[in-house]
């Protein structure tokens, strides 16, 4: 049936020639994202996935973002796919007017959602290393192509869907840390090194037969690679608090992701990247309890208070080495 597929989406995939003019494909609306509508379409040529950006995100707060980010997401996939083909899904078609694109369907029986694995306590640090390695290869490859800065001059979009709802929202919730958080916003916005994904989160990573695959590049931006790494490492620390039986493996995954990534840093000194990651991470840590997009699994107020307290401490007394953050958090969650 196509009852859950808007007519304009069906028309777009027909224009892409992914569905025949007289074909009535089976369709299914998929859940999982807050920023887009996503469907599986079972056409005569096989299944594929369609994604359409939303102007108002599906969260409790009033969070709006430009729908033209869809164009940059497709462009990110194409650049990243040329650099590390195994790290992204194949793009099958794009309709900029309709604000949507089609990509290869990743069969769930062969592709596990990394977030689901981690929350279930199924933690393989080798996966984290591969995420870091692939992300580092994309950053390094794009840093060698400075002409991409013009194509991905998406500062306004990145501010609207990353810096404002995370760091600036956290600053409003914590006025006594606002100056520090706004300084992180300014530094991040001014740092331009390579092509940034912007949403490297376990919910956007499928682990397939050939390793991790990055999805959801709506925040694509020419900017600071530290944002991508801090964004993902943040999730590993949060899950180490929540999934206590897997805390040791999650903390090892934190180390392994950074190790895989660090080995690929060649566009600037690795210590400089690490310092930006380590000082940005506390702001993102705080944002995941007091920003516009809090993580849904931290429902226990005592857990949220521990995140909030440690984030505020790290913001006030910043450290520039990730091992120091990891060690401090290890002591915190062991107590």
For residue 208, name the pLDDT band (cuts at 50, 70, 90). Answer: very high
- Residue intervals of the chain classified under CATH 3.90.1200.10 are 112-334
| CA-based nearest residue to 213, from 299, 112, 293 | 112
- Beta-carbon contacts of residue 301 (< 8 Å; ≥ 6 apart): none
pTM, rounded to two decimals: 0.91
Residue % of the chain over a pLDDT of 90 = 78
| CA-based nearest residue to 38, from 23, 28, 25, 24 | 28
pLDDT at 69 over 50: yes
Helix axes 125-143, 225-242, angle to 10 degrees: 170
Instruction: Please check whether residue 198 is in contact with residue 217, taking contact to mean a CB–CB distance below 8 angstroms.
Output: yes
Helix axes 270-290, 178-190, angle to 10 degrees: 130
Please identify which residue in the block is written with the tokens 């331009």: 192
pLDDT in tens, 72-123: 999 999 999 999 999 999 999 998 888 889 999 999 999 999 999 999 999 9
| CA-based nearest residue to 310, from 292, 299, 123, 290 | 290
Mean pLDDT of 198-218: 96
What is the pLDDT, as a whole number, of residue 138? 98
Cα–Cα distance measured from residue 211 to residue 207, given in angstroms and rounded to the nearest whole number: 5
- Residue intervals of the chain classified under CATH 3.30.200.20 are 7-104
Q: What fold, for 112-334?
A: Aminoglycoside 3'-phosphotransferase; Chain: A, domain 2 (3.90.1200)
Query: Residue 116: how many CB atoms within 10 A of its CB?
Result: 12
| CA-based nearest residue to 218, from 1, 34, 17, 6 | 34
Cα–Cα distance measured from residue 33 to residue 161, given in angstroms and rounded to the nearest whole number: 14
| Domain at 7-104, CATH homologous superfamily | Phosphorylase Kinase; domain 1 (3.30.200.20)
Mean pLDDT of 179-205: 98
Cα 78 versus chain centre, distance: 17
User: How many angstroms separate the Cα of 47 from the Cα of each of 27, 39, 103?
Assistant: 9, 10, 10
pLDDT at 125 over 50: yes
Mean pLDDT of 134-159: 96
pLDDT at 3 over 60: no
pLDDT in tens, 35-65: 678 899 999 989 999 988 776 544 444 445 5
How confident is the prediction for the chain on average, in pLDDT? 92
3-state secondary structure the chain: CCCCCCHHHHHHHHHCCCCCCCCCCEEEEECCCCCEEEEEEEECCEEEEEEEECCECCCCCCCECCCCHHHHHHHHHHHHHHHCHHHCCCEEEEECCCCEEEEECCCCCCCEEHHHHHHCCCCCHHHHHHHHHHHHHHHHHHHCCCCHHHHCCCHHHHHHHHHHHHHHHHHHHCHHHHHHHHHHHHHHHHCCCEEECCCCCHHHEEEECCEEEECCCCCCEEECHHHHHHHHHHHHHHHHHHCHHHHHHHHHHHHHHHHHHHCCCCCCCHHHHHHHHHHHHHHHHHHHHHCCCCCCCCCCHHHHHHHHHHHHHHHHCCCCCHHHHHHHHHHHHHC
């Amino acid at each position: 049936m196509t009852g859950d597929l808007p007519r304009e989406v069906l028309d777009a995939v027909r224009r892409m020639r992914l569905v025949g003019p007289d074909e009535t494909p089976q369709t299914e609306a998929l859940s999982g994202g807050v920023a887009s509508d996503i469907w599986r379409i079972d056409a005569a040529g096989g299944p594929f996935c369609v994604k359409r950006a939303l102007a108002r995100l599906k969260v409790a707060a009033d969070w709006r973002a430009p729908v033209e980010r869809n164009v940059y997401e497709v462009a990110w996939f194409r650049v990243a796919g040329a650099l590390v083909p195994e790290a992204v899904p194949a793009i099958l078609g794009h309709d900029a007017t309709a604000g949507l694109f089609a990509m290869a369907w990743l069969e769930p029986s062969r592709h596990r959602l990394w977030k689901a694995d981690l929350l279930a306590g199924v933690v393989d640090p080798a996966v984290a290393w591969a995420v870091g390695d692939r992300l580092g290869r994309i950053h390094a490859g794009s840093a060698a192509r400075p002409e991409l800065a013009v194509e991905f001059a998406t500062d306004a979009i990145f501010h609207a869907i990353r810096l404002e709802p995370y760091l600036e929202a956290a600053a409003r919730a914590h006025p006594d840390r606002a100056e520090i958080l706004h300084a992180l916003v300014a530094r991040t916005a001014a740092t331009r090194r390579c092509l940034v994904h912007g949403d490297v989160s376990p919910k956007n990573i499928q682990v397939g037969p050939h390793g991790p695959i990055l999805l959801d590049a709506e925040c694509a931006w020419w900017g600071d690679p530290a944002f991508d790494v801090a964004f993902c490492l943040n999730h590993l620390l949060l899950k180490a608090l929540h999934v206590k039986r897997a805390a040791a493996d999650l903390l090892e995954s934190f180390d392994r992701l950074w190790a895989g990534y660090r080995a690929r840093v060649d566009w600037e000194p690795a210590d400089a990247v690490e310092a930006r990651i380590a000082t940005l991470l506390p702001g993102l840590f705080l944002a995941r309890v007091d920003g516009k997009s809090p993580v849904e699994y931290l429902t226990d107020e005592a857990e949220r208070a521990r995140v909030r307290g440690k984030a505020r401490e790290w913001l006030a007394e910043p450290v520039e080495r990730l091992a120091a953050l990891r060690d401090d958090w290890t002591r915190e969650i062991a107590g």
